Structure 1
């Protein structure tokens, strides 16, 4: 049957008895509606809505959303050169491992909220950690937000309440005794690494980035101004900490300062730019070279399920027990704040010294000889400074 002409678009009855609507897009191409209609009136109503969309500038080219998610996601990452190396590694891994395998071949226009619910459920059912699933969802949501901005799709299908929220399991807090057992059971060149991670709330990358010039043994302070990220190709990237608040000065508890001084004398590279921590063969600190030592030390301490980052969590917990305020803790830990400038504890340097002093008192009290021990005090000695 011949199509009936209207002032906008056309409606025709198909041999099946249903009605097809077609309309001219702003580009002049005649396009059919994505579905047919049971009644002619329904087809005409659809054309009226499409005409309104075009008049408002809300029209989207239905062919634009045919780009594959995998291709678009990879381009989305490439087009953000300002991403920090750590973030770049994270995004590339999430896209490659958790998004592309299930969704990468789909066109952007084919991605729907129900499909994303199934994808998320499949990741959780496969025992992928909830935190990783939340990060993958947030990345996908950001990519599809850009697709909306690029007018490739009309709305973002990432509409699952709470899917992007991280709910990390509570991490273990070691005892003082366990921390010193761990420090005593790693090679001597790594003892200071363990102690600073715990008592100065330093991250692995921040520790790997420390040089001699960052340590002032006389004042007992450490300047944290850079961190190391290991990229997927194995190369190491030195750059600023993960946030501007990560640039800070922290005070070393006096009770462990002799261990740090000994480390500087025995194991750190020479010269002001020499790395504080290096491997036995002089190479930069890498997790892969340390993991076996860490595992053995955890076994000796009876805390096999601890991660290295849990030392920082442990130290933060103890610092809070000294009576530190929230502001004190945020400064010491290097957490991001709303302050716009880099602040090196100008307002809280005195409080940071108090935190370090109280931590030192906790250490000394914990390691002091008990009344029923021998007078030689061996049971309460700090980690020896020589192997």
Structure 2
């Protein structure tokens, strides 16, 4: 390449009145383009042109005009066009985008976002009080959006989300209830919600899955519940009944035998005779919203009374998952299928899971329940001493 200004084999460099240097080059269509920035030294501008020429030779060059779309506009389009997103996920993505991403990076063209900018954005989130977990979720969303811009739409050459560790969450370790605590918590619930606690915990179910169970999904003879749908709460729309969180979420789960008497009693007292009757509802027969459940059952007081203050409802599923993983003889794929894990690998494994193995997990959990309940709890012993019946017998 020639070194004289304006006589290069590829592109040209000229000195601007400001003293900085501008690099210009022809694209494959013959139209001249300018580098997005000017350079303090001529050698830097020439190096830039050499890199651009190399990209064109290797077929890696991307027209910078394509990457001038604002991040906010592109991300909104990304969410809208993303296939098979559940309404809850769309809502969460839009909330995360508007809360944590677009206020900082939304006006930036895609091709102007670089790794230092992403690193600064994440640092500002953390400095402003955003939790590490939430910052990681926002980072993963941004990375997914920009990965599509790289691989599918070819708007930018590389994904600038390359901050080591930024995608990792550090959630607080959630509590795991003991078997006596599970039954104690169930006893402290209003009668129509006692079985809900046992089915959720021992069935490893999500809230949306357990409240979407219908009579036709419960097989008391086999001791199983079938998960085939889930409720999603969407503000402004209401409760939406749809498929579970993933394909692996469609599953049949065996319950420990110790949970079946209370479930059978519940089915007889609170569930309509029609096959489509929902199993767990409020007094008016309507589906209970997750946001109103805690107040309805005085959740804070109940969990504090069993020595688990701060326990979340979702921790019941966590407890069930933990008990299942401890069951002797349960393989990793058996446990993942029981949980309805949402990874593609778990979904594939679920399709080949042995139903007998799932019953084995339930039987092992049942033995743990019986062993833990042989010794009366202090609360039950006190009731007997006072001349009353234990709650399990009274119900």
Report the TM-score range of the alignment, normalised by the length of the smaller protein: 0.7 to 0.9
- 1:1-387 to 2 correspondences below 5 Å: 4-37=6-39, 40-149=42-151, 150-292=153-295, 293=297, 294-327=299-332, 328-335=334-341, 336=343, 337=346, 339=348, 342-343=351-352, 345-367=354-376, 374=384, 381-382=391-392, 384-385=394-395
The answer to whether the Cα contact below 8 Å between 2:383 and 2:390 also exists between their aligned partners in 1 is no
- Aligned mates of 2:390, 2:329 — CA distance in 1: 27
Flag the 1:342–1:85 CA change in 2: closer, same or farther, 3 A. farther
- Aligned mates of 2:174, 2:59 — CA distance in 1: 51
RMSD between aligned alpha carbons? 2.9
- Aligned mates of 1:224, 1:366 — CA distance in 2: 34
Deviation at 1:368, TM superposition (A): 6.8
Deviation at 1:137, TM superposition (A): 0.9
The answer to whether the Cα contact below 8 Å between 1:200 and 1:252 also exists between their aligned partners in 2 is yes
Higher mean displacement: 145-154 or 272-281:
145-154
Deviation at 1:375, TM superposition (A): 7.0
Question: Per-residue displacement from partner, 1:92-151 (whole Å, max 9, x unpaired)?
Answer: 222122212222122212322222222222323333332222121111101001111322
- Aligned mates of 2:383, 2:272 — CA distance in 1: 39
The answer to whether the Cα contact below 8 Å between 2:20 and 2:41 also exists between their aligned partners in 1 is yes
The answer to whether the Cα contact below 8 Å between 1:36 and 1:43 also exists between their aligned partners in 2 is yes
Size of the aligned set, in residue pairs, is 384
Normalised by the length of structure 1, the TM-score is 0.87
Deviation at 1:253, TM superposition (A): 2.2
Deviation at 1:255, TM superposition (A): 2.2
- Aligned mates of 2:348, 2:258 — CA distance in 1: 32
Deviation at 1:202, TM superposition (A): 1.5
The runs of 5 or more residues in structure 2 that have no matched partner are none
- Aligned mates of 1:100, 1:207 — CA distance in 2: 36
- Aligned mates of 1:219, 1:36 — CA distance in 2: 74
Flag the 1:345–1:226 CA change in 2: closer, same or farther, 3 A. farther
Question: Match of 1:4, SS?
Answer: coil
- Aligned mates of 1:314, 1:7 — CA distance in 2: 69
- Aligned mates of 2:393, 2:117 — CA distance in 1: 55
Question: Match of 1:259, SS?
Answer: helix
- Aligned mates of 1:322, 1:372 — CA distance in 2: 32
The answer to whether the Cα contact below 8 Å between 1:322 and 1:359 also exists between their aligned partners in 2 is no
Deviation at 1:46, TM superposition (A): 3.3
Question: Match of 1:11, SS?
Answer: strand
The answer to whether the Cα contact below 8 Å between 1:225 and 1:248 also exists between their aligned partners in 2 is yes
- Aligned mates of 1:120, 1:361 — CA distance in 2: 50
Deviation at 1:322, TM superposition (A): 4.3
Normalised by the length of structure 2, the TM-score is 0.86
Question: Per-residue displacement from partner, 1:239-269 (whole Å, max 9, x unpaired)?
Answer: 3322333222222222222211121122223
Higher mean displacement: 187-196 or 53-62:
53-62
Higher mean displacement: 85-94 or 210-219:
85-94
Flag the 1:202–1:359 CA change in 2: closer, same or farther, 3 A. farther
The answer to whether the Cα contact below 8 Å between 1:279 and 1:289 also exists between their aligned partners in 2 is no
- Aligned mates of 2:111, 2:105 — CA distance in 1: 12
